[in-house]
Amino acid sequence: MRKQIAAANWKMNLTLAEAHELIDLLLQQPLSIEAHQQVLIATPFPYLIPIQQKLANSQIKCCAQNIASTQNGAFTGETSAEIVNSLHINYAIIGHSERRELFHEDHSVLALKVNQALAHSVHPVFCCGEPLAIREAGTQNSYVETQLTESLFHLDAEQMKQCIVAYEPIWAIGTGKTASSEQAQEMHAHIRAVIAAKFGSEVAETVSILYGGSVKASNAIELFAKPDVDGGLVGGASLNAVEFAAIINALK
């Protein structure tokens, strides 16, 4: 069975004290995390070590929100996959729509980031998804396929198995809008078919595909019940311990 994953993306939120309080509250919740399930918390970089230490006796793992496209060097303010790995953190979000839009990260840069992650035993949580204009034009399938092709399809099959894909319809991020469970399933099935066409069905059935677009406790069960939706990349709702715990417990 594919790994079922609930990943929290805190983005640039919370003071350190608030982060500790949130984790304390989360760990107090009645969580059911089975062997085929994984919970990730993508904290701001300064919090990775203290939050990782707080989670040491739990089944929850820390995740980086981003990594650099190079291994090391004179890149002030950047954090490499090598550094992340040295912290014993093995997951990193790559290609989030905010990085694409606000920091102009293109397909070629994201391909380099994926390479760096895999070279240092960090699983990429690779984000893809379309803006509203593309969805309205009905060309979302080809748009997402291009994102996958140009940033992931230089990998070999074993490398691809190390990746997690997160489909995030940009028009549903932080807007309160959510793709219907049918829309999510349709795109997730398309992504899996595209991966299968390139790498084969065995690889495609190994790769977890998460939905990221205003996931909440109120819609998580319906979304996660779809056969190709393997969990969620959760933004705002992950800043509420009770809400995020309900999302974790909605994993199938």
The residues assigned a catalytic role are 96, 168
Whether 128 and 170 have beta carbons less than 8 Å apart is answered as: no
Integer Cα distance of 232 and 235 in angstroms: 9
Residue (of 246, 173, 154) closest to 213 by Cα position: 173
Strands (E), the chain: 4-9, 37-42, 60-63, 91-94, 123-128, 164-167, 209-211, 231-234
CB 231 within 8 A of CB 210: yes
What's the rounded Cα separation, in Å, for the pair 167 and 210?
Answer: 6
Q: In angstroms, how far apart are the furthest CA atoms of the chain?
A: 48
| Token representation of residue 207 | 């790769």
Give Cβ neighbours of residue 67 (< 8 Å, ≥ 6 apart).
79, 80, 81, 84, 92, 94, 113, 116, 117, 122
E strand or H helix at 164: strand 164-167
Alpha-carbon span 184 to 179, nearest angstrom = 6
And the tokens for 20?
């500790």
